[in-house]
Amino acid sequence: MTRSRRWRLRSTLLPLAVLMSLVLPALSPAGAHARADGRIIGGTPVDIADHPWVVALVDTTTKRAFCAGALVAPAKVVTAGHCLLNRDRRRLRVVAGRTDLFAKDTGTIARVAGAAVHPGLHTPMPYVNDVAVLTLDGALPYGTVPWVSPREDETYEPGTTGWVFGWGRTEESGTASPRQLRTVSVPLWDGDACEAAYPDRIDQSAMVCAGTGGSDSCQGDSGGPLVVDGRLVGLVSWGTGCGRPDLPGVYTRLDRYATWIDRAVRAA
């Protein structure tokens, strides 16, 4: 092929390809959603109005939601301690009342006035004592979620159905995160089985495993609420991969931290 013919071909195909890539996704939004829903995390999109206490932690520099949290009092958010590592609080925002993170005309954005990170937080992974309480610069007009009491073994009975919420990845190897809040039901694991899945990395009294192959939390969901019967019982903390059958998600077991949270929430 001569140089000029090759160029002519490219100059006609290139704009066409660009045009197609712009038009095709716009034509098939339903197809795109169906694919995401069927993937390994296995959740479904939900509306924030039904779960008004779920919040996103957004970095003003990257404009991305990097973690989630739970509104437990009008100006207090419980999240994972590791979410605050190397984060400048002045660049941190709590986005509440917003289902679609791109829908800028919905919900409320709060600044963070203070953060109490558990003094025993251990990093890097596997995180230990992975809990923090943020104090917002003002009260948010949304419903709050109650949290567990100290030492509630019955609540963590193996097989109990928990629900986890977040804007994190819908597949292990994907980079894109969904715009819309999602939830998935995850069965709680027996402590010994959890420890067998992650030898030497589990403290059964402070962590709980949950999920199945196909239903799990993932990157970006950290700090997100794990709820049983309408009460906050855990926080997304860590895991190997996402949605793998033998490797459940590991959650901060909040009955262990209930007293610490009580105190942090009462503090100004």
Q: What are 106-114's contacts with CB under 8 Å, separation 24+? A: 107/48, 108/140, 108/141, 108/142, 109/58, 110/75, 110/136, 110/137, 110/138, 110/140, 111/136, 111/137, 112/136, 112/137, 113/137, 114/89
Nearer to ligand ARG, 75 or 238 (CB): 238
99 binds ligand ARG (CB under 6 A): no
| 216 contacts ligand ARG (rule: CB under 6 A) | yes
Q: Are 145 and 235 in contact (CB under 8 A)?
A: no
183 near ligand ARG, rule: CB under 6 A: no
Task: Pick the catalytic residue from 177, 222, 237, 255.
Answer: 222
Nearer to ligand ARG, 181 or 242 (CB): 242
Shortest Cβ 130–ligand ARG spacing (Å): 9
- The answer to whether 42 contacts ligand ARG (rule: CB under 6 A) is no
Q: Could you tell me how many residues of this chain bind ligand ARG (CB under 6 A)?
A: 13
Contact 258, 149 (CB under 8 A): yes
* 234 contributes a contact to ligand ARG by CB under 6 A: no
> Is 173 one of the catalytic residues?
no
Q: Read off φ and ψ for residue 215, nearest 5 degrees.
A: -135, 115
Comparing CB distances to ligand ARG, the nearer of 170 and 222 is 222
The phi-psi region of residue 241 (left if phi > 0; otherwise alpha if psi is between -120 and 50; otherwise beta) is left
Catalytic (active site) residue 222: yes
Determine if 218 is a binding residue for ligand ARG (CB under 6 A). yes
| Of the candidates 166, 78, 59, the residue with the CA atom closest to the CA atom of residue 130 | 78
Q: Which of 236, 254, 258, 264 binds ligand ARG (CB under 6 A)?
A: 236
Question: Which CB atom, from 58 or from 75, has the smaller least distance to ligand ARG?
Answer: 58
Stretch (H or E) spanning 195: helix 191-197
Residue 71: helix, strand or coil by DSSP?
strand
Return the range that interacts with ligand ARG (CB under 6 A); candidates 46-54, 137-145, 174-182, 212-220.
212-220
CA angle 137, 128, 112 (to 5 degrees): 10
- By CB under 6 A, residue 255 contacts ligand ARG: no
Catalytic positions: 82, 130, 222
Query: Where do contacts with ligand ARG occur on this chain (CB under 6 A)?
Result: 168, 216-222, 236, 238-239, 242, 249
